[in-house]
Amino acid sequence: MALAMPVVWSDRHRQHDPGGEVWVGIRIPGTEVPERADRIRDALTAAGAQFFGAARQRDDALLAVHDRALVDYLSTAWDEWEQAGLPTEPGQDRVVPYVFPHPGLGAPAAMPAAPSARAGYFAYDTMTLIGPGTWEAARAAIDVAVTAAQLVLAGAPAAYACCRPPGHHATRTAFGGSCYLNNTAAAAARLRSMGEVAIIDIDAHHGNGTQAIFYDDADVRVGSVHVDPGAGWFPHFVGFANETRHGANRNIPLAPGTGDDGWLKAIEDLATWARPARALVVALGVDAAAGDPESPLTVSAAGYRAAGRILGRLRLPTVVVQEGGYDLEAIGGLVLEFLTGIEEGAGG
């Protein structure tokens, strides 16, 4: 049977080609590439899914979850980098930060004047590069996620936002982890008129940006299952089980190597915990799959199907927002398994 839920899409994702990432000071090929979204689109097209173009959203869709200073910076970062001549001298063709307002500086950080330093005011890592089309693509990804939320507000039982770049590592004030604007958070903010919203993040990495955005917000509960940052994995500094904010935040870190059994048990726990909510946003990373180059979890395609069934059984109005997943041969099939599972769980 064809996938029933609407799939929201924008071609503008292609304008973002990060051109690699700077890791331990070295520019290496990145895995968050334009082909990712196209691979997912192809798998869903083959499954008979219906695609809808994203509707342009007003700036309030972003400003619900991000400070204006971050939005203003991202929208002009490439232009100011280029105007400063940095692509020719020293020859850096992407915005790459080099110095950061570390708390150890011991005084409140001022906004730096130099474009090279301004990058580090807003970025928290060196891996999340900005090029000429990054802003347009990140802005379009918000349009995709919020359009999916609008479809659910209008009565669709579920909708899938096929967006990139991903978003769950972007906080209210800072970007990183291949993420610029938090698409999942923007979708959740749009659903608030339905009542309490639950976000369940099943990307292999902790959704630190989403957690931070809603940390003081009693109406949005945020749960995440991910590889244990304490075992050496991104985002390293946060994502631990003791970050609970009196029960409205729930982190379930898993040991590297964890497969279907441990991962699905965690998702069952998150689903039970989410039940009082009136709407659900799933941050769908398919990088927990065995074989993904960015994570040591070993979930199977059947595991993604089962995860969809567990969350579909909640029968909450549901927006699924694409996050990570980097094994180009596998990601389309994994997304299809999960979305099919959602429909099976909701229908059965």
Residues known to be catalytic:
169
Alpha-carbon dihedral angle through residues 251, 256, 262, 267, given to the nearest 10 degrees? 40
| Closest distance of CB 345 from Zn ion, Å | 23
Distance, in Å, from the CA atom of 309 to the CA atom of 262, rounded to the nearest integer, reads 16
CB 256 within 8 A of CB 233: yes
Q: Which is nearer to ligand SP5, 294 or 343 (CB)?
A: 294
CB 321 within 8 A of CB 311: no
Q: Which is nearer to Zn ion, 283 or 346 (CB)?
A: 283
Binding region for ligand SP5 (CB under 6 A) out of 61-69, 135-143, 173-181, 304-312: 173-181
Structure tokens at 180: 């610029």
Q: Which residue of 17, 228, 294, 327 would you call a contact of ligand SP5, by CB under 6 A?
A: 294
Binding region for ligand SP5 (CB under 6 A) out of 137-145, 171-179, 219-227, 312-320: 171-179
Structure tokens at 318: 């549901």
Q: Which residue of 176, 324, 333, 345 would you call a contact of Zn ion, by CB under 5 A?
A: 324
Q: Which is nearer to ligand SP5, 36 or 41 (CB)?
A: 36
Size of the site for ligand SP5 (CB under 6 A): 15
Binding region for ligand SP5 (CB under 6 A) out of 6-14, 151-159, 175-183, 220-228: 175-183
In the range 117-136, which residues lie near ligand SP5 by CB under 6 A?
127
In the range 226-285, which residues lie near ligand SP5 by CB under 6 A?
234, 285
In the range 12-31, which residues lie near ligand SP5 by CB under 6 A?
23
Residue 177's binding partner among ligand SP5, Zn ion, none (Cβ under 5 to 8 angstroms by kind) is ligand SP5
Task: Please report whether residue 287 would count as binding Zn ion according to CB under 5 A.
Answer: yes
Q: Which is nearer to ligand SP5, 22 or 189 (CB)?
A: 22
Task: Please report whether residue 287 would count as binding ligand SP5 according to CB under 6 A.
Answer: yes
Task: Please report whether residue 292 would count as binding ligand SP5 according to CB under 6 A.
Answer: no
Q: Which residue of 97, 324, 332, 341 would you call a contact of ligand SP5, by CB under 6 A?
A: 324
Residue 125's binding partner among Zn ion, ligand SP5, none (Cβ under 5 to 8 angstroms by kind) is none
Which residue from 18, 27, 280 is spatially nearest to 138, judged by alpha carbons?
18
Cis geometry, peptide bond prior to residue 296 (ω within 30 degrees of 0): no
Residue 23's binding partner among ligand SP5, Zn ion, none (Cβ under 5 to 8 angstroms by kind) is ligand SP5
Residue 234's binding partner among ligand SP5, Zn ion, none (Cβ under 5 to 8 angstroms by kind) is ligand SP5
Site string (148-187) toward Zn ion, x via CB under 5 A: ----------------------------------------
In the range 190-229, which residues lie near Zn ion by CB under 5 A?
203-205
Q: Which is nearer to ligand SP5, 228 or 323 (CB)?
A: 323
Which residue from 61, 36, 58, 128 is spatially nearest to 335, judged by alpha carbons?
36
Q: Which residue of 228, 323, 327, 343 would you call a contact of ligand SP5, by CB under 6 A?
A: 323
Binding site for ligand SP5 (CB under 6 A): 23, 127, 166, 169, 177-179, 203, 205, 234, 285, 287, 294, 323-324
